[in-house]
Amino acid sequence: MQISQLNPAQVDQFSSVHAIHHGLSEDKQLVLLSGIVSVDLQSPGWANENTVTGWFQAKLSLELGLPAGLLSAGQHFKMVQAVPYLSINAVAGVNNVGWAVNSFALALDEAATQSVQLDAALAVSRSGEILHRVAYHVTVIGQVVG
């Protein structure tokens, strides 16, 4: 599942969004991004109590916009270091409960970009669980180029 803050059709899936940047020495910028995203990952067992037990897993890719005022026309951001965090924010269930954020990482490319991509592996119990929302916090140090 791919959800982009830059896609007008998906922007409503983001709430409580915060983005700041602060200039550091040596032409580097510190960028902080945080918010909540509606993912609505629903296990196949939601409608069938007799479904197989175990985990239903899905990949999540979040495209997060950089703070307003960081980039001018024609500029891009090159990430040097990053610390991402993604956690469960809202859940629902009926039987043997289980929700998970199994992993998360930032896509650190050599090329400069105009957004930050956070990739994650999510899971819910096949017995009938829904992971409604996840919360993210990303700290990035990088340079404005162009």
Contacts of residue 142, Cβ cutoff 8 Å, sequence gap at least 6 = 28, 29, 31, 77, 78, 79, 80, 81
What are the pLDDT digits (tens) for 60-94? 999 999 998 898 888 889 998 999 999 888 777 66
pLDDT at 124: 83
Q: Are 84 and 106 in contact (CB under 8 A)?
A: yes
What are the pLDDT digits (tens) for 34-50? 999 999 888 776 556 66
Residue of higher predicted confidence among 75 and 95: 75
pTM value is: 0.85
The residue type found at 66 is L
Distance CA 24, CA 124 (A): 40
Distance CA 14, CA 43 (A): 22
Instruction: Please report which confidence band the pLDDT of residue 8 belongs to, taking 50, 70 and 90 as the band edges.
Output: very high
Residue 3 β-bridge partners: 62
Query: Where are the chain's structural domains?
Result: 2-145
Instruction: Report DSSP state, residue 51.
Output: S
